[in-house]
Amino acid sequence: DVKVTQSSRYLVKRTGEKVFLECVQDMDHENMFWYRQDPGLGLRLIYFSYDVKMKEKGDIPEGYSVSREKKERFSLILESASTNQTSMYLCASSLGHTNTEAFFGQGTRLTVV
Amino acid sequence: GQQVMQIPQYQHVQEGEDFTTYCNSSTTLSNIQWYKQRPGGHPVFLIQLVKSGEVKKQKRLTFQFGEAKKNSSLHITATQTTDVGTYFCAGRIRGSTLGRLYFGRGTQLTVWP
């Protein structure tokens, strides 16, 4: 079974903190994604990586950065957390060609206070 | 802006009634995928459609991809309480970065007994 593992299920951070969300996949997938899920807004893509050290901005990259130094690991960084970044964050991965499904992690519920 | 539109946002049905969710794009899609997210869970892949006019069935679920490859639908016959969740469509827009999926906002289905 493909496994996408996010480091934390729940996180509480203070405004202004630098926050790291980690995601690891074990299926040698080329593509990895970070989504943010808010009620009524669906899944919004923050960043997308299609290879090691390669990344592409998604729909809402402001306030976030990413790192992919190894193929299996994709990190989302909140440089200075703000309360409007309180949300559910979902990581996903997929194989590197067109017609493949995405596998999602369990999600990290981040609360910024 | 939203590349893939999905309606309705919410649907409440009585057990045994049918349910349909619709997905539309202003641009041609290379493929369309459907995901289901149970309450408290993460999105799980259901199916992928690639060919123009394609129809696929999974038990009580019927998936269609439009002739112009700009729209898709998911129809559930005789809903059951186990069908509860949010259904997302996701498409790859022709010409976009390989592997990148554009998600609709989802349709949240509630089924009461």
CA B46 to chain A, closest CA, distance in angstroms equals 9
Tally of domains within chain B = 1
Could you give the 3-state DSSP secondary structure of residue B101?
Answer: coil
Domain ranges, residue A34: 4-112
What CATH number is given to the structural domain containing A45?
2.60.40.10
On whether the CB atoms of residues B79 and B111 are closer than 8 A, the answer is: yes
> For residue B38, what are the domain limits?
4-112
Q: How confident is residue B1, by pLDDT bands cut at 50, 70 and 90?
A: low
Q: Do B103 and A42 touch (CB under 8 A)?
A: yes
Q: How many CB atoms lie within 10 A of CB B66?
A: 18
Looking at the structure of chain A, the number of domains it has is 1
Q: B3 by DSSP, 3-state: which?
A: coil
Contacts of B31 in chain A (CB under 8 A): 98-99
Encode pLDDT of B26-50 as tens digits.
Answer: 999 999 999 999 999 999 999 999 9
pLDDT for res A2? 67
- Give me the CATH number covering residue B25: 2.60.40.10
Instruction: Output A13 or A40, whichever has higher pLDDT.
Output: A13
Contact A112, A15 (CB under 8 A): yes
Q: Give the E-state strand segments of A1-113 in sequence order.
A: 4-6, 10-13, 19-25, 31-38, 42-51, 54-57, 64-70, 73-78, 87-94, 103-104, 108-112
- A113 vs A16, B28, B64, CA distance in Å? 10, 42, 44
For the segment A23-36, the average pLDDT, to the nearest whole number, is 95
pLDDT score, position B2: 66
pLDDT at residue number A99: 65
Q: What's chain A's average pLDDT? A: 94
Residue A76 C-alpha, separation from nearest chain B C-alpha, in angstroms: 17
Alpha carbon of B58 to those of A2, A42, A78, B55: distances in Å? 22, 24, 40, 10
- Residue pLDDT, tens place only, B58-109: 999 999 999 999 999 999 999 999 999 999 999 988 877 777 889 999 999 9
Residue of B nearest to A58 (CA): B100
User: How far apart (Å, rounded) are the C-alpha atoms in residues A89 and B36?
Assistant: 17
Residue pair A81/A17 in contact by the 8 Å Cβ criterion = yes
